[in-house]
Structure 1
Amino acid sequence: MNQLAVSLDHVWDAVLAVLPQRRWDLDRLRVLLQKEVPPTVTVVGKYNHGKSRLLNELMGSDIFNVADRRETIALAEHVHEGVRWLDAPGLYADVALQDDALAREALGLQADIRLFVHAAKEGELDALESSLLQELAADHQRSRRQTLLVISQIDQLADEQQQEKVLDSIAQQCPGCLLHPVSSTRYRQGRDGGKPRMLEKSGIAALQASLEAALKRVPQAREFERDALLTELTQELSALQQMQEQSLHSLQQTQKQQHIDFVEGLRKVLEGIEKDLEPLVNAAGVDHSLVPDTAEFGFKMTAGKQERARLQIAYSRACIAINGHLVEYGAVGLPAAQQTSVRSMDTVMIAVMGVSVKYRADLRRIFCEQAGRDKLVQDFTHYFEISEGRRALEAQIETSQKQLQQTRQALEELALLEGV
């Protein structure tokens, strides 16, 4: 394998990873970059329209098989006098569309010049032929590849009046398209019998002249098409890179802003809790919550029970406020790795705050001292960052970064072809 083939494979892999829908154009570009490939003429048309016979007459030798039955079932190739000739299977002859695929490969990937053959006996072009010719005309605008419309088997028409009628009808279907009426039979008879008039009436000489002129334009057309494809691919990759950069920037900004909003919002919640708790935790006098109840009090309400109830209610309100903030940011449940068999315990609130009873000193330390509030912010932010939503966003960012890197690499690889 030569060095060019290796480098092309490397470029193709990089570009296809980003633009898989451009495989066809990349395959055509590969052909254009193979400088040793001779100009390629592809003959295409419906089954039994005289394509193979026409090629034989153009080359002056019976190289391609000719038969009344479906003969050409694969791309037949021959190089003659520095020109590569391809005879494609007849269009629409194979119900499985395999022949059509081969014909379109010959037209789309291989051909520099297309000889589109239509039998005069069929009259005007059918809808499928007309559609394909329109595709080829549009491709000419993009690639400068040339199409010659050949009306074959004119000898099978009754007279010149019928021939003129058929040609006029086809010309109306293809405005501005030069028609090449030919008869391979007349050409063979004129050549073998030494009949110049028959040769002239065959139309082959005029077609050969058009082909020679078209072949001279091939190098310039190839260069134009190669540059056009490289430009198209580069522009598409550049536009994609710009879009990916914007998308990645937006995702990163969202990630950053979510973090800021979560932390700032949590601090405001904690500031509100501190303000609400301050009268309770800093109340003067005896802290009755620390006085344990004894059996003699039984179910009687005591100062200790009342104080502990007030502390518990205040603590519960604080937890509800915090939990509301966690719900807003989707950071309520524990990650799978930390979950237990007790569902009610699998919450971020339990993981951070625990389940023990809180007293004045606990509430003061947790909510009313800066160190306590900072620790709550740190702990809750940790669980926020590993929540499902944040992990999903992080995965999006990683995917976006990989896609952007692939696009940048594809652009770098494609740039290597500029001087090839």
Structure 2
Amino acid sequence: MTDANGDVLRVLPHRADALARLGMLLRNGEPVVTVVGKYNHGKSRLLNELVGSEVFAVADRRETVRLADTLHEGVLWLDAPGLDADVASGDDRQALHAAWLHADVRLFVHAAKEGELDAAELTLLGQLLADAAQTQRQTIFVLSQIDQLPGDDELDQVVGNIARQVPGLTIQRISSTRFRKGQQDGKRLLIEQSDMPSLLRRIQEAVAATPAARVHETSLLLGELTDEVAALLHETDAALGRDRERQHRQRQAFDLGLSKVIGKVSRDIESMLASLGQDHAVIPDKAKDAYRLTAGKVERARIQVAYSRACIEIDAFLAGQGVVTIPTDQETVARALNTVVVAVMGVSVKFRDDLRKIFSSLTGRERLQREFARYYELSRDRKALAARIDAAAASLAALTRAMDALRRLERNG
């Protein structure tokens, strides 16, 4: 169960309690009867009478501060700290842990002398009864310490108030003191008046129903977890498919748009070069031409202008696609040079052969297409999309493992 639990927990961390309960169900240990209720309401004394020995500590002060248990006649009896006994809520956490994680049968204990249920008790009892209807784990309401009321009228009033608070609730009226005295003195009437025999019968019936309830609850939890993982699988797979399709469409649009821009600037360059006559750019200037406007200087300037215009058109397209800056590890101290166009094409071109090599040859155009596409994939938006796709793919793999784990649990359960 551990590996399977881990696989499911990784994708459903909020279902840790359900997975813990499922683990206990699959281990199929002894039926567990747990008492739950507020501090000093007679829970430990009740358990001692039910198991027939002084196993659990009893005192007027807060005594049960951690889970305590005893195995009696094939049943594990569990005593938990009282609710509201610890201001730091540590006891509450242990008590609720016992009620929700460990228990097959819950005895909800409320002292008759306290009158009707308070808001916290009402909420918890409502939750336990709702859970009983869903999981078949039974909750038995025990009105304890009825001997501490002045008479039957007062008891009937308390019972009536609680019945109005929780319509349809079966209220087991219990006196552990009468039961103990009846047993010690051999007085059957006191034993019957304690109503403990009736409670024991209800507990025995609930314990007998535990195997079937566990099968039902196991199926219920596996179904819930499987449905939740399946929904996440569907959602994640759909999102991954959409992002991959978006990634593909964006790349197609980029490649097509870039190809058109490169094609246009290449034709412009070819047209400009075709309009030139003699190649003056290759003729080097002499020393005497340092301050003179020569034909070579004019042509080299014209070539540079055509090159710059081509760079500007390509850069405008790239900017529209979010391809603006180069990776940090390629940056130089000259900020103006830290552009994708400069990284791919360089700063300047002065000769016709250089222009033709870049724009007129198939190899040159393919290089531009390839290099600009590489920087496109390094752009912020594309990297974010790729990261999202990788994360979704990892989630999908984790969800698949979780689904496989749940199916193994279902087969082996």
Q: TM-score, normalised by structure 2?
A: 0.94
Q: Does 1:132 align with 2:119?
A: no
Q: Does 1:11 align with 2:7?
A: no
Q: CA deviation at 1:295?
A: 4.5
Cα distance in 1 for residues equivalent to 2:324 and 2:35: 69
Q: CA deviation at 1:276?
A: 2.7
Q: CA deviation at 1:302?
A: 4.0
Q: Does 1:201 align with 2:200?
A: no
CA shift digits 1:52-89 (9 cap, x unpaired)? 11112222222222211111111110111111111111
SS at match of 1:289: coil
Q: CA deviation at 1:389?
A: 3.5
Matches within 5 A, 1:6-405: 8-35=1-28, 37-283=29-275, 285-297=277-289, 299-405=291-397
Q: Report the more deviating stretch, 241-250 or 39-48.
A: 241-250
Cα distance in 1 for residues equivalent to 2:44 and 2:235: 50
For structure 2, list consecutive stretches of 5 or more residues without a partner in the other structure: none
Contact 1:281 1:361 (C-alpha < 8 Å) held by counterparts = no
Cα distance in 2 for residues equivalent to 1:129 and 1:317: 79
Contact 1:150 1:181 (C-alpha < 8 Å) held by counterparts = yes
SS at match of 1:106: helix
Q: CA deviation at 1:298?
A: 5.1
Contact 2:37 2:109 (C-alpha < 8 Å) held by counterparts = yes
Instruction: Report the residue type matching 1:28 in the other structure.
Output: R
Cα distance in 2 for residues equivalent to 1:357 and 1:374: 19
Q: Report the more deviating stretch, 113-122 or 190-199.
A: 190-199
Instruction: Report the residue type matching 1:63 in the other structure.
Output: V
Contact 1:119 1:151 (C-alpha < 8 Å) held by counterparts = yes
Cα distance in 2 for residues equivalent to 1:271 and 1:355: 20
CA shift digits 1:206-246 (9 cap, x unpaired)? 21222122122111111000111111111111111122212
Q: CA deviation at 1:297?
A: 4.7
Contact 2:110 2:144 (C-alpha < 8 Å) held by counterparts = yes
Q: CA deviation at 1:356?
A: 3.8
Q: CA deviation at 1:388?
A: 3.8
Cα distance in 2 for residues equivalent to 1:382 and 1:90: 66
SS at match of 1:149: strand
Q: CA deviation at 1:109?
A: 0.9
Cα distance in 2 for residues equivalent to 1:56 and 1:189: 14
Q: CA deviation at 1:343?
A: 2.9
Q: CA deviation at 1:352?
A: 1.4
Q: Report the more deviating stretch, 14-23 or 97-106.
A: 14-23
RMSD, matched Cα? 1.9
CA shift digits 1:120-143 (9 cap, x unpaired)? 110000111111111112222331
Cα distance in 2 for residues equivalent to 1:65 and 1:302: 110
Q: TM-score, normalised by structure 1?
A: 0.92
Instruction: Report the residue type matching 2:204 in the other structure.
Output: E
Q: Report the more deviating stretch, 205-214 or 111-120.
A: 205-214
Q: CA deviation at 1:296?
A: 4.2
Aligned position for 1:3: none
Cα distance in 2 for residues equivalent to 1:213 and 1:71: 30
SS at match of 2:388: helix
Q: CA deviation at 1:150?
A: 0.6
Q: CA deviation at 1:289?
A: 3.4
Cα distance in 1 for residues equivalent to 2:3 and 2:344: 52
Q: CA deviation at 1:290?
A: 3.6
Q: CA deviation at 1:300?
A: 4.3
Contact 1:32 1:226 (C-alpha < 8 Å) held by counterparts = yes
SS at match of 1:150: strand
Instruction: Report the residue type matching 2:275 in the other structure.
Output: A
Cα distance in 2 for residues equivalent to 1:166 and 1:358: 103
Query: Of residues 390, 398, 406 in structure 2, which corresponds to 1:406?
Result: 398
Cα distance in 2 for residues equivalent to 1:49 and 1:368: 94
Using the aligned pairs only, state the percent identity.
Answer: 48
Q: CA deviation at 1:280?
A: 1.1
Contact 1:125 1:170 (C-alpha < 8 Å) held by counterparts = yes
Q: CA deviation at 1:284?
A: 5.2
SS at match of 2:110: strand
